[in-house]
Chains A and B, each alone.
Chain A
Amino acid sequence: QKEVEQDPGPLSVPEGAIVSLNCTYSNSAFQYFMWYRQYSRKGPELLMYTYSSGNKEDGRFTAQVDKSSKYISLFIRDSQPSDSATYLCAMNGPSGGSYIPTFGRGTSLIVHP
């Protein structure tokens, strides 16, 4: 079992839809939870960053962390064609004195007009 599981998709939705992206993980030592967006032929860029359980909202994006279930989610409201990208969850915790983000495989999102 991989440490971080993420459905690769693709997930295809119409413009304006609410998108839900999810990851599960197995390492209970993870403390920091992140979502990155990666456009084709580009490097990942950080979208959301949360510490421990709870919700965090930033504009149209909401990140949720449920440590008891080892489950994290990213919601995108009023999705736009420009949101079409691959979304990678990432998480880390202490490991031998360092913190190394472990990434999910990414979910490909397509928002069609």
Chain B
Amino acid sequence: DSGVTQTPKHLITATGQRVTLRCSPRSGDLSVYWYQQSLDQGLQFLIQYYNGEERAKGNILERFSAQQFPDLHSELNLSSLELGDSALYFCASSAGQGTGELFFGEGSRLTVL
């Protein structure tokens, strides 16, 4: 058990809908990262937050947004969903800002029909 909790584990929704994925980092970790994993692209970095502030952005679509709350949990919002958004979404946390180990949750599997 990595200590990182992600909900929901599975989500099935229709095109055009909006979903929210939630992540609770390991106790004491200030950084939260969101990654998307698909069969053809591997693990793609979306966005990082550190202590409530956005620190880095990757290949995150404009339809996607995220935030980190004062209690350090994070949410990833995906809107106007398309078939191609079907993937595993991972949250990871670390104590610092990326030079150390990332601890991953078990992921949220999103299926868009």
Chain A residues in the interface with B (C-beta under 8 A): 32, 34, 36, 41-46, 49, 88, 92, 95-106
Contacts and interface: CB of A to CB of B under 8 A. Distances in A.
Given A43-B90, A97-B55, A103 B43 contact: yes
Interface residues of B, number: 26
Contacts of B58: 100
Contact of A98 (B42, B98, B100): B98
Main secondary structure of the interface of A (DSSP, over half): strand
A42 B9 CA distance: 11
A92 B90 contact: no
Contacts of A100: 33, 45, 48, 56, 58, 98
Given A44-B43, A98-B55, A32 B99 contact: yes
Interface in B6-57: 33, 35, 41-43, 45, 48, 50, 55-56
Interface string B66-90: 0000000000000000000000001
A45 B104 contact: yes
Contact of B42 (A32, A45, A97, A103): A103
Shortest beta-carbon contacts, A-B, top 3: A99-B98, A43-B104, A105-B42
Given A49-B100, A106-B43, 13 more contacts: A36-B104, A42-B107, A43-B104, A45-B2, A46-B103, A88-B43, A95-B56, A98-B97, A101-B98, A102-B45, A103-B42, A103-B43, A104-B42
